[in-house]
Amino acid sequence: MSASYERHGDVAVITLNNPPVNGLGYDTRKGLTDGIARAEDDAEVRAIVITGAGRAFSGGADIREFGSPKALQEPNLLSVIGRVENSAKPVVAAIHSVCMGGGLELALGCHYRVAAPGTQVALPEVKLGLVPGAGGTQRLPRAIGVETALNMIVSGEPVKSELLAAAPGQKLFDRIIDGELLPAAIAFAREVADVRPLPLVRHLKAEHANPDGYFQFARNTVGAVAKNFPAPAKCVDCVEAAVQKKFDDGMLFEREQFAALMMTPESKALRHAFFAERAASKIPDVPEDTAVRPIAKVAVIGAGTMGGGISMNFLNAGIPVTIIEMKQEALDRGIGVIRKNYEAQVKKGKLKQDKYEQRMALLSTTLSYDDIKDADLVIEAVFEDLGVKEQVFKTLDEVMKPGAILASNTSTLDVNKIAGFTRRPEDVVGMHFFSPANVMKLLEVIRGEKTAKDVLATVMQLAKKIKKTAVVSGVCDGFIGNRMLEQYSRQAGFLLEEGATPEQVDKAAERFGFAMGPFRVGDLAGNDVGWYIRKRRYQEKPHMRYSKTADLLCEMGRFGQKTGAGWYDYKPGKRDPIPSPLVNEMIEKHRAELGLQARRISDDEIVGRLVYALVNEGAKILEEGIAQRASDIDMVYLTGYGFPLFRGGPMCYADTVGLFNVVQAMKRFQKNPHDDAQFWEPAPLLARLAEEGKTFS
């Protein structure tokens, strides 16, 4: 049973016990209601205390039950709370550590609440695109006041118990207990054992001096911030219902909103991302208890764009880093950039001066491999050139201590080949960071043919420590993210040739929800980066057609923001893209050379071609085993490529549209005489799933 029952004299103590956070799964709920019944039947019991074992009072619903019928199996959470409210003997919640979601809703159903200071109190449902569904929106405003409650419900963010307890007139906590919680809770239960009638939060009033003005204000604020998500506005509606409706009507209203939100694609996308993130950290053939290698010292090779950002991740986590370069100037420049980044954070008040100094003190630089040979992990971030990488890895093989992990940040090169430059390919792994490496969440972990399991386990664990979302990818050109991006970029180019402007393509992509369209991204990252890659890539794959417009742009010297001009013009020092007549002229000229007539292309077609190009390549990557699961691909796109979160990633989005519909659209694109018919041949996995009416998930 996931809830235990004990008697302490005349007080019964029910302890939720469902590690790690006492999620309110079926067994725990059943244990709880059985405990209440037992305490009621026991003539010697005068009061009941509910508390949680281990690290939480309760973190809320049991995520393992999420979306399954078990979550609704009686007693469901609403019935449990009803049972507690109706207990003939007073029920005291003894709250500590974590009290969130359903856990807080349960506590609000108790007659009294005492809490340890420092408890994280929250209703985080909005983060999954939902409103609290077991009375949270009706009881919390009654207990803590309308404004505080709405702030908590709309943000989902935790607030410390002692802060809430300090709010004037609050009825959430009857007492904050500084010493040992349980004995004090039991003593409190004895104090109130004979008080009748039993106090209930539902009998309180949720009031506001100027409800119309306030809720109007709240709606405006929420609407501006949460434009693609419906749940925050529903949180406002529910709290307003707590003010305006009778308690039971408010409960009904909340229930309806909860059920309706559950069906929205936005909530499905958020729940998908929630589980995808957890799934991504698991590697089926690498057991969770695999012993990891200790990582106390890190070395980074190359102090360029990536090397500096990569180093900052480790400094931020308190791990010392040594950067090695070929020339002192390169080191000085690299360190200068790191300093500037930190100083900007200090200026904005995001980093304290002493923290900044502590971090810089962990950083050292060298021109000699002798100074890095003891590092536990070395990450190579030198030029993207196999010859240069060969030199570096041969040297590393010579100098590094046995057992050191040798990682490459290559974005496109063959990690197996790189591993082959050493006599210890089992220690070699790809750690593909994204630019800017100190900001972007994604880390693609490239598993080579020979990469050892404990190396993978170590890197996955380290990723958590430096707050990255790690996704494992097999070896192929571009790995998961950039391999898919290649097809997306090819489509973006074809769209220009057929009649779209860069601005039209970007606007369509941004309306779909992308943080930036493909051409703005090019200007930001530097169009020369792709140019360089295409030179190699399409030499290796001469049969692969792509639009030359991007090459022509680079031949004009328009590398993007860094040269003041790219797909767009830029005013000096500004980042606002201004459509460029010169670029449009170049595109038109190229179009004429291809013998093409410009046609009007709808935004729907633009988005379809960009996104389904990702989806089709994603299906191939999945089938080839480059990605372990479809949701990993979604994580890559959500955390590394600005794919809109409310759409859950490309594969989740395709599932939402329906794979049959995706394939139909691809067949329409196939009929376009200019587009590449081969391009739109559905990947076998996609075709099969569409035919069987299945989804990627």
Residue 195 touching ligand NAI (CB under 6 A): no
**Binding range to ligand NAI, per CB under 6 A, among 35-43, 313-321, 428-436, 630-638:** 428-436
Q: Which one of residues 97, 119, 267, 411 is an interface residue with ligand NAI (CB under 6 A)?
A: 411
Active site residue 105: yes
d(CA 282, CA 457): 9
Smallest distance from ligand NAI to CB 479, Å: 10
Strand-pairing partners, residue 58, are 99
Smallest distance from ligand NAI to CB 305, Å: 4
SS3 call for 647: helix
Residue whose CB is less far from ligand NAI, 351 or 386:
386
- Shortest CA distance to 610 belongs to which of 513, 525, 678? 513
Residue 435 touching ligand NAI (CB under 6 A): yes
**Binding range to ligand NAI, per CB under 6 A, among 48-56, 230-238, 300-308, 643-651:** 300-308
Q: Which one of residues 48, 381, 442, 500 is an interface residue with ligand NAI (CB under 6 A)?
A: 381
DSSP state of 63: G
Residue 439 touching ligand NAI (CB under 6 A): no
Structure tokens at 641: 């490529």
- Shortest CA distance to 84 belongs to which of 35, 36, 39? 36
Q: Which one of residues 136, 232, 302, 577 is an interface residue with ligand NAI (CB under 6 A)?
A: 302
C-alpha dist (Å) from residue 684 to 65, 239, 600, 618, 691: 33, 49, 31, 11, 11
Residue whose CB is less far from ligand NAI, 451 or 482:
482
Burial (CB count within 10 angstroms: exposed 0-12, middle 13-18, buried 19+), residue 34: middle
Smallest distance from ligand NAI to CB 456, Å: 19
Smallest distance from ligand NAI to CB 472, Å: 17
Residue whose CB is less far from ligand NAI, 31 or 481:
481
Smallest distance from ligand NAI to CB 448, Å: 16
Structure tokens at 200: 């209930």
Residue whose CB is less far from ligand NAI, 14 or 379:
379
SS3 call for 100: strand
Q: Which one of residues 382, 480, 619, 651 is an interface residue with ligand NAI (CB under 6 A)?
A: 382
Smallest distance from ligand NAI to CB 485, Å: 12
Residue whose CB is less far from ligand NAI, 151 or 305:
305
Active site residue 617: no
**Binding range to ligand NAI, per CB under 6 A, among 42-50, 407-415, 624-632, 674-682:** 407-415
Residue 306 touching ligand NAI (CB under 6 A): yes
Residue whose CB is less far from ligand NAI, 104 or 437:
437
Structure tokens at 508: 């369509």
Which residue is nearest to ligand NAI, using beta carbons? 304
**Type of residue at 394:** K
**Total residues contacting ligand NAI (rule CB under 6 A)?**
25
DSSP string, 5-55: EEEETTEEEEEE--TTTT---HHHHHHHHHHHHHHHH-TT--EEEEEE-TT
Strand-pairing partners, residue 407, are 379, 429
Residue 325 touching ligand NAI (CB under 6 A): yes
Asked if 410 and 392 touch (Cβ cutoff 8 Å), the reply is no
Residue whose CB is less far from ligand NAI, 393 or 669:
393
φ and ψ of 689, to 5 deg: -60, -40
Residue 304 touching ligand NAI (CB under 6 A): yes
Please give the residues from 237 up to 256 whose contact with ligand NAI meets the rule CB under 6 A: none
**Binding range to ligand NAI, per CB under 6 A, among 3-11, 55-63, 296-304, 621-629:** 296-304
Q: Which one of residues 34, 85, 384, 676 is an interface residue with ligand NAI (CB under 6 A)?
A: 384
Strand 363-366 and strand 175-176: the pairing is: unpaired
Q: How distant is the alpha carbon of residue 299 from its chain centre?
A: 28
Residue whose CB is less far from ligand NAI, 390 or 426:
390
d(CA 325, CA 321): 13
Q: How many CA atoms lie within 13 A of 482 on its CB side?
A: 22
Residue whose CB is less far from ligand NAI, 66 or 532:
532
DSSP string, 154-207: HH---EEHHHHHTSTT--S-SEE--S-HHHHHHHHHHHTTT-SSPP-GGGS---
Residue 414 touching ligand NAI (CB under 6 A): no
Residue whose CB is less far from ligand NAI, 286 or 524:
524
How large is the C-alpha radius of gyration of the chain? 29
Structure tokens at 689: 């799933």
Smallest distance from ligand NAI to CB 367, Å: 9
Residue whose CB is less far from ligand NAI, 126 or 306:
306
Q: Which one of residues 383, 535, 589, 691 is an interface residue with ligand NAI (CB under 6 A)?
A: 383
Q: Which one of residues 326, 360, 592, 677 is an interface residue with ligand NAI (CB under 6 A)?
A: 326
SS3 call for 139: helix
Smallest distance from ligand NAI to CB 510, Å: 21
Asked if 611 and 618 touch (Cβ cutoff 8 Å), the reply is no
Q: Enumerate helices (H) and strands (E) in the chain, giving the number of each.
A: 28, 19
Structure tokens at 121: 């109190």
Residue whose CB is less far from ligand NAI, 155 or 305:
305
Beta-carbon contacts of residue 39 (< 8 Å; ≥ 6 apart): 5, 12, 14, 45, 48, 87, 89
**Binding range to ligand NAI, per CB under 6 A, among 75-83, 433-441, 511-519, 538-546:** 433-441
**Binding range to ligand NAI, per CB under 6 A, among 384-392, 506-514, 608-616, 689-697:** 384-392
Residue whose CB is less far from ligand NAI, 199 or 420:
420
Residue 305 touching ligand NAI (CB under 6 A): yes
Q: Which one of residues 226, 330, 399, 607 is an interface residue with ligand NAI (CB under 6 A)?
A: 330
Strand 321-324 and strand 363-366: the pairing is: parallel
d(CA 432, CA 45): 61
d(CA 245, CA 248): 8
Burial (CB count within 10 angstroms: exposed 0-12, middle 13-18, buried 19+), residue 446: buried
Residue 489 touching ligand NAI (CB under 6 A): no
> 246-278 burial string, b = 16+ CB within 10 Å, else e?
ebeebbebbbebbeebbebbbbbbbbbbeebbe
Strand-pairing partners, residue 36, are none
C-alpha dist (Å) from residue 547 to 362, 492, 583: 47, 9, 14
DSSP state of 606: H
Binding track, positions 496-535, relative to ligand NAI; x by CB under 6 A: -----------------------------x----------
d(CA 198, CA 485): 62
Smallest distance from ligand NAI to CB 451, Å: 18
**Binding range to ligand NAI, per CB under 6 A, among 144-152, 336-344, 381-389, 443-451:** 381-389
Catalytic residue among 6, 74, 125, 498: 125
Smallest distance from ligand NAI to CB 307, Å: 6
Catalytic residue among 105, 380, 497, 498: 105
Which residues here bind ligand NAI, judged by CB under 6 A?
A: 301-307, 324-326, 330, 381-384, 388, 391-392, 409-411, 433-435, 525
Catalytic residue numbers read 105, 125
